[in-house]
Structure 1
């Protein structure tokens, strides 16, 4: 064969070789994927995705623009469940149907919960005389805040009367929960989002059956109740009084900010904390010390379980003849339930309680107690009882942290089991034994730091999304606070509470106060380090979805191939987290405050008395760590309005009095007002009370001489906590009419 012919044959064989290699690579990838699937099936990990599907259904319900049909969701769940049973021999079809069934069950659970708690919500500001029973009282350093179960409301029909209102007092009252009172109050509707995608207090208030918020006017009259409270209500009110009494005693004995922190750690009462103390522990990344969370619940249950078991083991007759381990687990269950009730039963505590009960139940049943399956069951219980909690920071942070810790525990358990099999000759020894690093992270202080790192990484995306901030020094603060909680807080809370009725508890609170004072001293040092709190801009709305699935993939899957899917999911989420966009103007839902971006790039708040909570939300979404009060420009306002200037020279007029319309409609480029603007206003952009009723809070992005606008209320949004405004005939006026010199091609909305 000639050289030319040989070269031609070689060129013809090259594509064939490439094709064979590609086919071989595809076959190897398919085998690896099939092996990974078989590992997940053997480990029963697909079950863990069913609560995730239910949680997705809950989220879809909570963020939907219209109220999903309760009956439709129930019917769809039943149909998917029946087909899943019928097709149980077809693994893939059954899995898809089970996911769809759980998704519909999540919608059904949230819909049913919303229907159960339905109660009237105030639609506009009113001043009224109220009568009712105080359900819960939270004392502050000055004044108090309380929940009032309303029996009578002057000027309200029974269909309009809120079930419960939250009121604020400037002076400390001489009464507590369980007191029947008559008072006059200025009532406001529960606040809606301060910006699109922001925190919606109105939704949380709906599920708490709070129909109005406000402040007390004048004196409060204590009167005899028309009927005594029910047994459960009376017990809960008595418990609230007991928590307040204990919190006050701890705060008085310990004193200062350490006393307020100690009271919060023991009783769950956090209103005694000052803003400065909250800021200190937040910057140090140890805000969880003032919440009753999983660590405290687990330690409390452990004290009951281990203590009672060892006490019973002192008797050989009991230890040899009776199941003392089961008895100790049952006693620990009772202790955990009492601890949850005594500390207010918040979302984080409920999650910890469910997890603890499942773990102790597994001990009674003789099953493995600490597993991802138990955590999934705890999540399912929370979504069944309080599905609205899934959008709260407490739910997200607590479950993400515990899931990461359980994943670390499972990895250590697998490693220990593998080493045991190798020693017993049941598994082949690896060709090269890992030493040093593997053992270092398997036990001792390094193991604690590694577990803290994993938990902090799992919660970082939720911290950044919910609070627009990251705390890099959490690896310093968390091990320190965990040690405090293990050695001082939980044992001290138990011992001090048991001694409190005898009046012999003071020395316990002094010891606890010393430990907390040391932690606060260290926290202040951490907070002064450079970069202790890194402010972040708001995420793109879809970013948190990918970051959530990245965390779930990392902790749920057991095979490395499927676990690596967390990497692309996290990269997409990080891209969305860093490309959330900025805004040039923000308008409050009430129309009485505006944020304007100045020439230096920072936001300036104009308004006579803007809500500091709304201002804080705006600054936080902009990655601005300034104090809200410092961002308000009081000099921009006079008696009838305020004025702001945009970097391109356009003027913004905040009209607070009708007398200002005559001048501002002619000279201002943008009019914002909580009033009704006159129809002949010549400003290029007019946002008045009528418009804000349809849109809610707004963010505006300058595009040429026009505006791109985001609204908190979607078009046609109608939810129980955010009902649609009354129908108006005719087509609504455009939100912005361009002037003659405006760019006609620039988008207006």
Structure 2
């Protein structure tokens, strides 16, 4: 029946449904309006979506869940695509969900594609193979050699051994055929939860064993002629001109060779927030590219004919591209350098096309390229630190308010200088704040004065040290580089003084135990939300950012850390420090346990603690946490302990730790962490107040490097 005059036409839906659908329609309209305002920012989320899929592969434990994630993401994409007529939101949700599924699948394929045999158990072996890489480490009096064995004699195809400098024979160069005996072991997993996982890095590097080589080392067939390696020759030349760590840093800037830097100087660079200067990445590639462009442009401008007839900026861009590629090859073509080179080439391409060069879209394009080529780099600190820093810098200076503050204008030179210094300071502070969560997650410490130190260090390195070093190398062709090397050495000593002064300043370093993965994920999500959007909706990113920060600070630090071999443990003391079971633990063990315990000062000896009683073979320690007493018993030697005494002691203990296999009759009240148990779990972290136990190998984890580590007995 037709509606009568004066009445609204029928919609075909009951009035209750209209009322219920109105809020949903308004919400959909608001989202569409917001996405329309942010339409230029939407492509920036492409690498984020791929990275989410890659991260899911690393976080989820087994193939069933990897498959489930990919299928769930594909289902979301199909559902969103089916409703894509609703607008931009549906279309982009479908795209991003499919990219997340792609990222997970790509990471899975990559892990299987690089799979290579891994040594099954430690032991002494004879290695016969071809030298692939020789890396001098003069600060440690070692030479690191990577050898391709071809899988002969049951060895993995690629092994890496350290040789004492005095044991390195003449002719040990890349391409040489060598024979030597070495103690080899499978690439070790993380010692404790949150520590560096060498087994994962080695898996993607195709490395199947690592160890220490013995003399004599026989060179059966020559490789490259000594000095034929341009990178090695250049590094040796630079270090012959400048002594000590200053010369090693100069070699690092020229060739990427960091082996000569003394450990105390490298630690000072890390603590002061200047360690990025030692990793050939965006800063160095940009400096080389810019210097090459400027030099070519100025030289060509000297010719009136070239200035009138040639497209000098285009020629200069070509020279910059050649310099970037050449520098990348010279410094070893590591992934961070390749990433920076690709970004530089994109910038040069944009300049050649007359486009704005430095934008977040360029950063997103570079991140997408790296994730598609090397998705595993997402899990490492290099990718995270470099892209986080660049994203923060570009997002800051794309802000209209910030551009208004620091735009060029007619003003006295001193005000222009002050404005530039303030811009550099603000940039340093933003970058430092951005990088602190990443540094805490990977290294469990972060420099707090890095923004101030970088205000001096970055210009000093970019505009003084690197140009003078380049000129010194050129003048050395005529034997005239000595004065320039003196200036470069003086500037490098100043850089080291700045690093040590900053690192030793009171409160210069914030230390934190292992950061929860979920908390880190919330911080990253909040930071990306703030950086990539432009409307006021970006402020919503403060919610996950704050939640992640609070989650990081809320949990109590671990009270007990046990390494995967059961030989070492660190126990929280009454004063908040950590005490070691074995007095003669090496620097690596001390550093690893201290960092993951959130302790900056030196670790004490457990035998010296008033709450512990130790003999040559056993330690018994009592801890008061969570309103009760906890007793820890640990073996500290390989000597025989009467089984009756050991079993009786186990019954009085809450936790028993040993690097040997304990008898079944050893039954502590809570946990038995002997060799058999630790072979399944890897290193262990325990918080007594919450009774939380974290392991290096989570239950059911079937990532390939974890499976190989378990098979090898770690």
Listed as ranges, the matches of 1:19-38 within 5 Å are 36-38=34-36
Within the candidate set 601, 604, 617, 1:626 is matched to 601
The answer to whether the 8 Å contact 1:132/1:148 transfers is no
The C-alpha deviation readout for 1:417-441, integer Å capped at 9, x for no partner, is 9999xx9xxxxxxxxxxx99xx989
Q: Which residue of 2 aligns with 1:6?
A: none
Alignment partners' CA distance in 2, 1:419 and 1:645: 63
Matched, 1:288 2:276: yes
Alignment partners' CA distance in 2, 1:106 and 1:30: 28
User: Residue 134 of structure 1 aligns to a residue in which SS?
Assistant: strand
The answer to whether the 8 Å contact 1:471/1:534 transfers is yes
Alignment partners' CA distance in 2, 1:725 and 1:269: 30
The C-alpha deviation readout for 1:532-556, integer Å capped at 9, x for no partner, is 1222233233111111122212221
Matched, 1:462 2:458: no
The C-alpha deviation readout for 1:577-631, integer Å capped at 9, x for no partner, is 2023322222111111122223333221113764643432221122211246x55
The C-alpha deviation readout for 1:366-424, integer Å capped at 9, x for no partner, is 2221110000010111112221111211111111111111112322599569999xx9x
User: Residue 575 of structure 1 aligns to a residue in which SS?
Assistant: helix
Question: In the superposition, relative to structure 1, how do residues 539 and 151 fare at CA in structure 2: closer, same or farther (>3 Å)?
Answer: closer
User: Residue 185 of structure 1 aligns to a residue in which SS?
Assistant: strand
Q: Which residue of 1 aligns with 2:200?
A: 203
What is the aligned-residue RMSD (CA, Å)?
A: 3.6
Listed as ranges, the matches of 1:646-685 within 5 Å are 646-647=623-624, 648=629, 650-654=631-635, 656-657=637-638, 659-660=640-641, 662=643, 663-668=645-650, 669=653, 670-684=655-669, 685=671
Alignment partners' CA distance in 1, 2:485 and 2:135: 21
Within the candidate set 82, 87, 92, 2:89 is matched to 92
Question: In the superposition, relative to structure 1, how do residues 413 and 382 fare at CA in structure 2: closer, same or farther (>3 Å)?
Answer: farther
Q: Which residue of 1 aligns with 2:142?
A: 144
Q: Which residue of 1 aligns with 2:683?
A: 697
Alignment partners' CA distance in 2, 1:549 and 1:442: 34
The C-alpha deviation readout for 1:504-528, integer Å capped at 9, x for no partner, is 5444332211101112223333233
The C-alpha deviation readout for 1:17-76, integer Å capped at 9, x for no partner, is xxxxxxxx99999998765433211xx101101110101111111233114799998888
Matched, 1:54 2:35: no
- Alpha-carbon deviation of 1:222? 0.7
User: Residue 184 of structure 1 aligns to a residue in which SS?
Assistant: strand
The answer to whether the 8 Å contact 1:541/1:580 transfers is no
Question: In the superposition, relative to structure 1, how do residues 311 and 252 fare at CA in structure 2: closer, same or farther (>3 Å)?
Answer: closer
Question: In the superposition, relative to structure 1, how do residues 27 and 649 fare at CA in structure 2: closer, same or farther (>3 Å)?
Answer: closer
The C-alpha deviation readout for 1:197-224, integer Å capped at 9, x for no partner, is 4321110110111111110123111111
Alignment partners' CA distance in 2, 1:498 and 1:75: 58
Which 10-residue stretch deviates more, 161-170 or 329-338? 161-170
Alignment partners' CA distance in 1, 2:402 and 2:692: 54
The answer to whether the 8 Å contact 2:437/2:523 transfers is yes
Listed as ranges, the matches of 1:342-741 within 5 Å are 342-411=330-399, 415=403, 443-499=419-475, 504-559=480-535, 561-607=536-582, 610=585, 612-627=587-602, 640=617, 643-647=620-624, 648=629, 650-654=631-635, 656-657=637-638, 659-660=640-641, 662=643, 663-668=645-650, 669=653, 670-684=655-669, 685-702=671-688, 707-723=691-707
Question: In the superposition, relative to structure 1, how do residues 87 and 504 fare at CA in structure 2: closer, same or farther (>3 Å)?
Answer: farther
Alignment partners' CA distance in 2, 1:606 and 1:67: 39
- Alpha-carbon deviation of 1:135? 2.0
User: Residue 115 of structure 2 aligns to a residue in which SS?
Assistant: coil
Q: Which residue of 1 aligns with 2:9?
A: none
The answer to whether the 8 Å contact 1:440/1:447 transfers is no
- Alpha-carbon deviation of 1:356? 0.7
Structure 1 unaligned segments of length 5 or more: list them. 1-24, 229-233, 424-434, 728-749
The answer to whether the 8 Å contact 1:148/1:166 transfers is yes
User: Residue 660 of structure 1 aligns to a residue in which SS?
Assistant: coil
Alignment partners' CA distance in 2, 1:371 and 1:527: 33
User: Residue 210 of structure 1 aligns to a residue in which SS?
Assistant: coil
Alignment partners' CA distance in 1, 2:709 and 2:461: 50
Alignment partners' CA distance in 2, 1:534 and 1:100: 37
Alignment partners' CA distance in 1, 2:568 and 2:75: 50
- Alpha-carbon deviation of 1:116? 2.4
Alignment partners' CA distance in 2, 1:528 and 1:190: 34
Alignment partners' CA distance in 2, 1:238 and 1:410: 47
User: Residue 149 of structure 2 aligns to a residue in which SS?
Assistant: strand
Q: Which residue of 2 aligns with 1:66?
A: 62
The answer to whether the 8 Å contact 2:134/2:146 transfers is no
Matched, 1:248 2:236: yes
Which 10-residue stretch deviates more, 56-65 or 395-404? 56-65
Alignment partners' CA distance in 1, 2:143 and 2:687: 38
Normalised by the size of structure 1, how large is the TM-score? 0.81
Matched, 1:338 2:330: no
Matched, 1:194 2:191: yes
Alignment partners' CA distance in 1, 2:234 and 2:353: 37
Alignment partners' CA distance in 2, 1:442 and 1:377: 34
Question: In the superposition, relative to structure 1, how do residues 649 and 543 fare at CA in structure 2: closer, same or farther (>3 Å)?
Answer: closer
The answer to whether the 8 Å contact 1:440/1:446 transfers is no
Alignment partners' CA distance in 1, 2:601 and 2:303: 63
Q: Which residue of 2 aligns with 1:304?
A: 292
Question: In the superposition, relative to structure 1, how do residues 611 and 336 fare at CA in structure 2: closer, same or farther (>3 Å)?
Answer: same
Alignment partners' CA distance in 2, 1:482 and 1:653: 49
The answer to whether the 8 Å contact 1:546/1:572 transfers is yes
Alignment partners' CA distance in 1, 2:437 and 2:492: 28
The answer to whether the 8 Å contact 2:145/2:163 transfers is no
- Alpha-carbon deviation of 1:497? 4.2
The answer to whether the 8 Å contact 1:80/1:98 transfers is no
Question: In the superposition, relative to structure 1, how do residues 531 and 27 fare at CA in structure 2: closer, same or farther (>3 Å)?
Answer: farther
Question: In the superposition, relative to structure 1, how do residues 517 and 74 fare at CA in structure 2: closer, same or farther (>3 Å)?
Answer: same
Question: In the superposition, relative to structure 1, how do residues 94 and 38 fare at CA in structure 2: closer, same or farther (>3 Å)?
Answer: closer
Alignment partners' CA distance in 2, 1:198 and 1:330: 43
